[in-house]
Amino acid sequence: MSRTPDPRTILPALETIGEKLYETRARFMVDTNQGLTKTYNALKDPDNDDPRILELRALHEDMDRAVLAAYGWSHIPVPPYCPKTDEERAAVQAFEDEVIDKLFVLNAERAEQEKKAAAAAAPPPKKGGRRPATKTDSAEGDTKEPAKKGRKKAKDGQGSLGF
């Protein structure tokens, strides 16, 4: 049986680009004496053509490509980090839609794998064992819901947990 990869696994390609992006961004922020908000506002400003901003945008696109490769989705084209035209904005929207769709499918597949793994790991039911008590087994009525064990009557007449 194949196992789901450990999400804490270190992927060298992601580590390399992540470190480069982090260091370049940190150096820019120190040099310009600004925080993340102003930095990312500059990155998202299509009129900003500072070479350091252009480099950070390119690094973000490289990070996107590395993440796509890690998922095995290298065929998805990475759009510009800061779209300037309607065509580029449409490319960003198409990119986001495709990635979200793929993540949704992947999430469903992983949930199914986890469900199967949990079922395989569960102990088999005991043969000849007793069935769980139901309300019909008690004086509470004639339904087939499981009886609630350990409940005590509260002073106001409402049921309460027996803690």
Q: Show me where the domains of the chain are located.
A: 12-121
- Range list of H helices, the chain: 12-32, 36-44, 51-71, 86-121
Per-residue pLDDT, 57? 98
| pLDDT at position 62 | 97
Cα angle, residue 54 at apex, residues 50 and 56 outer, rounded to 5°: 115
Distance CA 5, CA 114 (A): 12
Predicted confidence at residue 98, as pLDDT, reads 97
- The C-alpha angle with vertex 49 and arms to 19 and 44, in degrees rounded to 5, equals 65
What parts of the chain have a pLDDT lower than 50? 1-2, 140-141, 150-151, 153-154, 156-163
Please give the pLDDT value at position 129: 58
Rounded to 5 degrees, φ, ψ at 65 are -65, -40
| pTM (predicted TM-score) | 0.68
At residue 100, the pLDDT reads 97
Q: Which amino acid is at 109?
A: E
pLDDT at 5: 64
- Whose tokens are 């509470």? That residue is 140
Give the whole-angstrom CA distance, residue 67 versus residue 48.
26
pLDDT of residue 121: 86
What pLDDT was estimated at residue 53? 98
Residue 132 and residue 146 in contact, taking contact as beta carbons nearer than 8 Å: yes
